[in-house]
Structure 1
Amino acid sequence: MRLTELKGDLFAGSESSDPPAGMAHCVSADLRMGRGIAAEFRSRFGRIDEFRRQTCGIGEVAHLRLSDGRLLACLVTKQRYWEKPTYDSLTQCLQRLRQICLDQGVKRLAVPRLGCGLDRLNWRRVRELIEAVFDGADVCVDVYSL
């Protein structure tokens, strides 16, 4: 496992990796995705109905493959868009995401600072969670911030 913090555009960086990268971000179970990085994911990729059909609850991860082979994952960290996630709900999501990456052969994962934008989690703690959960996994995690 290797975590790398990068400055720049999450979407540009994830398009260039080989083998196909996974991309992940945090959402609420209602999948509103109306603000922040979630709104950008919604605008770029759509397919909200496919995520909704997976009926994921807190601590679960809705995911699908894009036409170019990349994995797109939505970490459900809270019930409604106005609520705030907990470190426990994020940890549960990260554990599921780790297994999905291993099962799907994703070796490189591009993410924003998960839960740290509008959701206001502390990046230092989130980074420690990511490192702990992905420890021993053959997955590189690239964390993008502007």
Structure 2
Amino acid sequence: MLEITGDLFSQECDAIVIPTNRIRRSNGEAVMGAGVAKEAAKRWPWLPAKYGKELERTEVAFLYGLGAVIGFGRDDGKYIITFVTKKHWNRPSDPELIRDGARQLADLANQLFPDRVFHLKWDPLPRICLPRLGCGLGKLDWEQTVKPILKEYLNDDFVVVSPG
């Protein structure tokens, strides 16, 4: 896992990870009203409705530790990956959700980019960019809590982007 400073949305990435919660509005759309999720909803207005449908579809799976990460294809051939860091928008992030999500994120990356498993030296690796998950509005400590969890599961295809 690599770390850089910059704007998450300005990075050249094959996939961008968006921290989220699992709450839906009465119209079925996912609540994406603050932080990185809010910016993602502004950039991709279709995302709250599509993610809301996936939240409903994966409700039971989530109870069993699945469905913490969901990938969505974009028109440009790249991906948006939602990553649940908290169950409700008004609560702090949960380190166990980060752990489950990191494991699932590594698995999803292998599905989205199967060539990375049998990587040839001359081919560029896919670049998957993510913020410091759960450390902004989620109130977790990056160095003490989140970074050690992510390092267990994420290799150097994953780039953590911190604001400068």
Structure 1-normalised TM-score? Answer: 0.84
Aligned counterpart, 2:39: 40
- Structure 1 gaps of 5+ residues are none
Contact 2:86 2:138 in 1 (8 A): no
Matched, 1:121 2:140: yes
Give the % identical residues. Answer: 24
Map of 1:1-146 to 2, 5 A cutoff? 3-13=1-11, 16-17=12-13, 21-30=14-23, 31-47=30-46, 48-55=48-55, 56-57=58-59, 60-105=68-113, 107-124=126-143, 125-135=145-155, 140-146=157-163
The structure where strand makes up a greater share of residues is 1
**Could you list the runs of 4 or more consecutive aligned residues of structure 1 that deviate by over 6 angstroms after TM superposition?**
none
Q: For 2:80, what is the secondary structure of its paired residue?
A: strand
Count matched residues.
136
Deviations 1:47-75 (A, max 9, x none): 22111111245551122011111111111
Q: For 1:78, what is the secondary structure of its paired residue?
A: coil
For residues 153 and 3 of structure 2, what CA distance do their matches in structure 1 show?
A: 17
Q: For 1:54, what is the secondary structure of its paired residue?
A: helix
Deviations 1:83-105 (A, max 9, x none): 12211111111111111110110
Deviations 1:3-60 (A, max 9, x none): 22111111111xx34xxx1111211101311111111011111222111111245551
Q: For 1:63, what is the secondary structure of its paired residue?
A: strand
Contact 1:9 1:144 in 2 (8 A): yes
For residues 36 and 98 of structure 1, what CA distance do their matches in structure 2 show?
A: 23
Q: For 2:85, what is the secondary structure of its paired residue?
A: strand
The structure that has the greater radius of gyration is 2
- Structure 2 gaps of 5+ residues are 24-29, 117-125
For residues 46 and 145 of structure 1, what CA distance do their matches in structure 2 show?
A: 24
For residues 77 and 6 of structure 1, what CA distance do their matches in structure 2 show?
A: 21
